[in-house]
A = this chain, B = another copy of it.
Amino acid sequence: MSALDQLVKEFGRLPGIGPRTATRLVYHLLRGSREEARRLAGAIEALADRVHPCVLCGTFAEAEVCAICRDPSRDRSVVCIVEGAFEVQSIETTGRYRGLYHVLGGRLSPLDGVGPEALNVAPLVERVRVEPEGIEEVILATSPSVEGEATAVYLEGVLRPLGVRVTRLARGIPVGSDLEYVDGSTLAEALAGRREVHGAQGGGGREGIGEDLDF
């Protein structure tokens, strides 16, 4: 196979990149300078060589312990549980969370043979048990899919007996969406989770639990 076809094949393995897009990317690299292509190759090599999961939380980092786990200004009493490291990045982008994370490395999916033992659960239990300053709250931030729900239910069963507060991300209408296009289950969740309006500032939870979550 030619170097060109080989790279089309490799690009085509990436998510969301079909053979046509892969070909376009290869020709883009060929049109550019060889330096540019080598810089991309080098950046991928550097990623493979230097980035590994944080030994504590499982997010990707170049150090053994990631910058979030090492940051003394983070609130060590709250741990947000996510399926993958990508979600850590999404939540960090909001700038509204100051606690720690724990990456599960997937979600329960019996049909695909993914049981609890395949997820990063034992280290989580260990973390909740031994964390010296005490983890007070665990936020379940798994996906709102069937598997994500099942994972959350399972984790709640494992974590609540440890005496920790277990919360979930709020369900409701996504910001910027049009009510007309919101599906029934989301609308039902939004109704059930409705919050009282306290003057112009908003805020304040109907069930109280959300009030202290705005870090």
Question: Residues on A close to B: CB < 8 A?
Answer: 2-4, 6-7, 9-11, 13-16, 21, 23-31, 34, 36-51, 60, 62, 84-86, 89
Instruction: Note all chain B residues with C-beta closer than 8 A to A34.
Output: 48
Which 3 pairs from chain A and chain B are nearest by CB? Answer: A41-B44, A37-B48, A7-B43
A-B residue pairs in contact (CB < 8 Å), sample of 16: A3-B46, A6-B46, A6-B47, A7-B43, A7-B44, A7-B47, A13-B36, A14-B25, A15-B28, A16-B21, A23-B89, A24-B86, A30-B51, A38-B45, A40-B44, A41-B41
The CA of A43 and the CA of B47, in the complex, are separated in Å by 16
Cross-chain contact B43 with A48 (CB below 8 angstroms) = no
Distance from A64 Cβ to chain B, minimum over Cβ atoms (Å): 14
Across the interface, which residues of B come within 8 angstroms of A28, CB to CB? 14-15
Known: A27-B85, A30-B51, A85-B30. A7 touches B60 (CB 8 A): no
Q: Is the CB of A16 within 8 A of B7?
A: no
Bound complex: CA of A23 vs CA of B6, how far in Å? Answer: 23
Contact B10 A43, beta carbon cutoff 8 Å: yes
Chain B neighbourhood of A26, CB < 8 A = 47
For the complex, give the distance between the alpha carbons of A31 and B14 in Å. Answer: 12
Q: A13-B36, A25-B14, A30-B60 are in contact. Are A6 and B48 (CB under 8 A)?
A: no
| CB pair B30 A37 closer than 8 Å | no
**Given A30-B85, A41-B44, 7 other A-B contacts at CB below 8 A?**
A3-B43, A3-B47, A10-B39, A23-B86, A37-B45, A40-B44, A41-B48
Q: Is A31 within 8 A of B84, CB to CB?
A: yes
